[in-house]
Amino acid sequence: MNRSLTSIAALASVALMATACSDPAAEAEGGGSAGGGAVEWPEPTADLDGVTLTLWAAQNSTTIPEQVTAAFEKATGAKVEIVTIPDPYEQSVQTRVATGDKPDLAFWQPTASMLTALNADTNLQPLDGAPWIEELQPELQDMTGLLDDTRYAALISSPSVEGVYYNKDVFAQHGITEPPGSFDEMVDLARKLDSAGVTPFYGMAGDRWATQWWVQVQLAGAAANGFWDDVNSGEKSFESPVVLDAITRYRDLVEEGLFNDDLATATFEEQGDALLAGEAAMALQVNSFFGQLQAKADTATLNEKIGFFPISPSGNVGTYIPDQSNALVAFRSGDEQKEAAARQLLAFWMGPGYEDFVAGQGTISLKPDVPTPDSVPQALLDAHASLGDSVGSMQALAAANPDLYLNLADMVAGEMTPKEVAAATQDQFEQLASAAGVEGF
Amino acid sequence: MATEHETVAGAAPGQPAPDGLPPGGSGGKVSRTTSAERRERAAHPGWFLAPALVVMVVFFFVPTVFNFVYAFTDWSSFKSEINPVGFDNFVELADSGTLFASLRITVVYAVLVAIFQNVFGLILAVLLERDTRLNRFARAAFFIPVLMSALAVGYIFQAFLKPEGALNALIGALVGHEVTTAWLGSTTWTIVVVALIHAWKWMGLSMLIYMAGLKTMPGDVLEAARIDGASPWKAFWAIRFPLLAPAVTFSVATALLGSMNGFDVVQATTEGGPARTTEILNIFIYRTFGQGLFAQATTMSLVLFLMVALFAFPVIKILRRREEIL
């Protein structure tokens, strides 16, 4: 290779380094809607001829916006392209955004930790003063979607709640007429069922993610007393007795044999089948589990067979955990017209388009003056009703979102002790909190 | 050859050159070689390198340099600024045991894959060496997995090995009662199973490499061995296997170093489970990256790069030494 070629190569690489050595996602800064100032909200049906919006959705949320965006296109002349981002959705979106690839709108978990993970301050449009907020049920208005007192996410459907789905037939066969009133009562009931030869709880540690509900519902009381604020400030941690006890209790219940024998390898899908078939009495889960049941059985069957009760150590208190399919965020694209159009779509969705959206999706209405369709099963209505006095989950209230579920799944597989689970989770929490610039980490 | 011949002719006895040097000596030789070089240079101009070089620089060299640079920063999805942090990422990683656990798993996995893939490949090459019609068909069949998508292979095996999967149904039919073994559920043996799947996918390639080695072996040596009364077994281990050394070098090195960079088969079969016992470094990197900790993930991939380099040199050196006897 001759010398001039070497120098060209060297020059090229230096030039590339110089241009690439900044975060490409930060490019939009300064352009488009500036943070801080009042946000303008266009008329929901104002003319948008020639504007194309891109909306990112996950595999399980991609059909949700179809109907409402079609109505929006018809009303405004805009074009909305729904792009399905492959699972794992959050990872894929974060990676794309990090390289500067951004949509106009996207489904996103509206919790503070997940908004931080998207660098909301730089990448997302503030949605302050959104016209539909006051039309929502009061307890839902500021439940989620906020980071540092700025609204970044629009809640579109009933946020998920951690609670127990149970098979009514199994309860009835064993003379149980009332759902248990506290975590301890539920464990007593489980022992009674176990001695009668029924699998009390069906877990799915093979798919891992639902293991964390068992610890989180036990923390409901602490969460109500500001436990997560103390974790965020470093005063308390995942190694504090209250968490460690909850983890240990979960392991003890597993070791006592109150779960299905194949707990360590069982999957989400198998959990749904097992509860519907009455192979087990209860499953501690979130709304997406019921979504799975809805795909397997019709509303009448579900109303007849499946019930729901929230649970916590002190009583029937739910733990809310809004997920990706519950909310949307609008990105700062640097193009003012598109940014305004994105806000307009949200205003249309939650305004004139909301009634049709709720009816079409067969989902619970968040607005008291928009009726919930009759096709919504009772268990979902019960889950929604428990939101009023529910408390926040780790995802909703902690400053960062460590992989507690992975460590718990390892514990169920016999590879970790409760102490190790707590320590590993706290380590990761600190690492994430430090990266997120949380004070004190 | 021509130069040498002319030199010899020029220095014909009885005609000594006036200055004691053969006519058309070193001077002529040099000019001839340079003209040959010039001809070669004209046929292979340096700028032919440019397209390949540009691709190499843009898609390999620059990213690798960035990999070094970003490992010393706090780049994350949480904020826009990227600040240098010195060796913080390395210290943090060294402190948490996860990195070393993953490194250990990666090495175990790579060694297992290298062994399985090469043993299977060699056996297949020897079995299918003769050019019969059946063998040609079998060679093609064993090479098909190499062409398949690794993710597809992984998902097929995942379904095949499920507790309610086809393998258990097959065994159940043979033994006469239901079998529900979770082949990918053991925290000890799953890594072996996944390494076997990886080796199964790539064994066709090793087979091809070994077969090429076997086919180019000098026939007279083997014939001499036969005449000397060596049994086929003896002839294989004493003559054919040592003669395969260059093929072994290539096949073992690519299998070992390639599987250190493995990801797809493991992701599709176990996603690193059960209980993270198959979490090779690339799965760990993927998980960390997905949490928005880009700098930490970059640091890990730098560690992986260094580890592969660290392994590559001694392994290739040792294997090369085996070739010296040839």
The sign of the CA dihedral A135, A138, A143, A146 is positive
Give residue limits of the domains in chain A. Answer: 38-159+323-367, 161-320+388-435
Task: Out of A90, A118, A265, name the one closest to residue B182 (CB).
Answer: A265
Question: Percent of chain A beyond pLDDT 90?
Answer: 59
User: Residue A267: which residues within 8 A CB-CB, separation 6 or more?
Assistant: A204, A206, A207
Other beta carbons within 10 angstroms of residue A383's beta carbon come to: 27
d(CA A108, CA A92) in angstroms, rounded, equals 12
Higher pLDDT, A201 or B4: A201
Q: Give burial (CB, 10 Å; 0-12/13-18/19+) of A424.
A: buried
Candidates A21, A93, A204, A421, partner chain B, best to mutate (most B CBs within 10 A)? A21
CATH topology of domain A38-159+323-367: D-Maltodextrin-Binding Protein; domain 2 (3.40.190)
User: Residue A77: which residues within 8 A CB-CB, separation 6 or more?
Assistant: A47, A48, A49, A50, A51
Above 80 in pLDDT, residue A29?
no
Above 60 in pLDDT, residue A161?
yes
Q: What mean pLDDT is reported for chain A?
A: 88
From chain B, the residues in CB contact with A429 under 8 A are none
Q: How far is A110 from chain B (nearest CA, A)?
A: 15
Q: Does A91 touch chain B (CB under 8 A)?
A: yes
Q: Does B307 touch chain A (CB under 8 A)?
A: no
Q: Which residues of A20-35 are buried (b: 16+ CB within 10 A; e: fewer)?
A: eeebebbebbeebbee
Residue of B nearest to A412 (CA): B275
Higher pLDDT, B323 or A313: A313
d(CA A164, CA A179) in angstroms, rounded, equals 10
Helix (H) or strand (E) holding A231: helix A227-232
Q: How far is A78 from chain B (nearest CA, A)?
A: 31
Q: What is the pLDDT along chain B (326 residues), one digit of tens a residue?
A: 333 343 333 334 444 444 444 444 444 445 556 777 777 777 778 888 899 999 999 998 998 898 889 999 988 888 778 889 888 889 888 887 778 888 999 999 999 999 999 999 999 999 999 999 999 999 999 999 999 999 999 999 999 998 888 999 999 999 988 888 888 888 889 999 999 999 999 999 999 999 999 998 888 988 998 899 989 899 899 889 999 999 999 999 999 999 998 999 999 998 887 888 899 999 999 888 888 888 999 999 999 988 888 888 998 999 888 888 76
Take residue A153 and report the two structure tokens written for it: 């996410």
Task: Out of B78, B274, B295, name the one closest to residue A264 (CB).
Answer: B274
Q: Does A17 touch chain B (CB under 8 A)?
A: yes
Q: Does B270 touch chain A (CB under 8 A)?
A: no
Q: Does B151 touch chain A (CB under 8 A)?
A: no
Residue A28 — very low, low, confident or very high, per pLDDT cuts 50/70/90?
very low
pLDDT for A148 equals 85
Supply φ then ψ for residue A266, to 5 degrees: -65, 150
User: Residue A324: which residues within 8 A CB-CB, separation 6 or more?
Assistant: A58, A61, A89, A90, A107, A108, A109
- Cα–Cα nearest to A334, from A17, A103, A114: A103
- Are the beta carbons of B276 and A264 separated by less than 8 Å? no
Q: Which of residues 301-360 of A touch B (CB under 8 A)?
A: none
Q: Does B69 touch chain A (CB under 8 A)?
A: yes
d(CA A110, CA A322) in angstroms, rounded, equals 7
pLDDT for B149 equals 94
User: Where are the CATH 1.10.3720.10 domain residues in chain B?
Assistant: 88-323
Q: Could you tell me which residues are beta bridge partners of residue A320?
A: A161, A392
d(CA A99, CA A24) in angstroms, rounded, equals 6
Q: Is B73 left (phi over 0), alpha (psi -120 to 50) or beta?
A: beta
Query: CA A263: distance to chain centroid?
Result: 24
Task: Out of B76, B289, B290, name the one closest to residue A435 (CB).
Answer: B76
User: How many residues are present in chain B?
Assistant: 326
Strand-by-strand arrangement of the A327-330 sheet: A79-84, A52-57, A105-107, A327-330, A153-155
Q: Does A25 touch chain B (CB under 8 A)?
A: yes
d(CA B287, CA B279) in angstroms, rounded, equals 10
pLDDT for B9 equals 38
Supply φ then ψ for residue A161, to 5 degrees: -130, 135
- Cα–Cα nearest to A388, from A313, A310, A304: A310
Q: What is the four-CA torsion angle of B257, B260, B264, B268, rounded to 10 degrees?
A: 140
Q: Which one of 3.40.190.10, 3.40.50.300, 3.90.25.10, 3.90.700.10 gives the CATH number of domain A161-320+388-435? A: 3.40.190.10
pLDDT for A7 equals 53
From chain B, the residues in CB contact with A3 under 8 A are none
Helix (H) or strand (E) holding A275: helix A268-277
d(CA A261, CA A278) in angstroms, rounded, equals 15
pLDDT for B326 equals 67
- Are the beta carbons of A117 and B78 separated by less than 8 Å? yes
- State yes or no: cis peptide before A88, omega within 30 of 0: yes
β-pairing verdict for A161-167 and A280-285: antiparallel
Supply φ then ψ for residue A416, to 5 degrees: -140, 150
Q: How far is B283 from chain A (nearest CA, A)?
A: 13
**What ipTM does this complex have?**
0.71
For residue A151, give the amino acid letter. Answer: R
d(CA A39, CA A372) in angstroms, rounded, equals 30
Task: Out of B49, B80, B274, name the one closest to residue A25 (CB).
Answer: B80
Among the ranges given (A1-5, A27-31, A184-188, A268-272), the one the predictor scored with the smallest mean pLDDT: A27-31
Q: Where are the alpha helices (DSSP H) in chain B?
A: 2-10, 26-43, 49-56, 62-70, 88-95, 98-127, 133-147, 150-161, 166-175, 190-215, 219-227, 232-235, 241-243, 245-260, 264-269, 281-290, 294-323
Take residue A389 and report the two structure tokens written for it: 């006095």
- Are the beta carbons of A5 and B50 separated by less than 8 Å? yes
Q: Does A148 touch chain B (CB under 8 A)?
A: no
- Name which CATH class applies to B88-323: mainly alpha
Q: pLDDT tens across A383-415, in order?
A: 999 998 899 999 999 988 898 999 999 999 888
pLDDT for A37 equals 57
Q: Is B90 left (phi over 0), alpha (psi -120 to 50) or beta?
A: alpha
Mapped to the 3 state alphabet, what secondary structure does B21-80 carry?
A: CCCCCHHHHHHHHHHHHHHHHHHCCHHHHHHHHHHHHHHHHHHHHHHHHHCCECCCCCCC
3-state secondary structure of A278: coil
Size of interface A-B (CB pairs under 8 A): 112
From chain B, the residues in CB contact with A416 under 8 A are 275
Task: Give the DSSP per-residue string, B150-186.
Answer: HHHHHHHHHHHHSTTSHHHHHHHHHHSS-----TT--
pLDDT for B32 equals 56
Q: Which residues of B292-309 are buried (b: 16+ CB within 10 A; e: fewer)?
A: bbbbbbbbbbbbbbebbe
- Cα–Cα nearest to A32, from A24, A21, A44, A40: A40
Take residue A104 and report the two structure tokens written for it: 């106009």
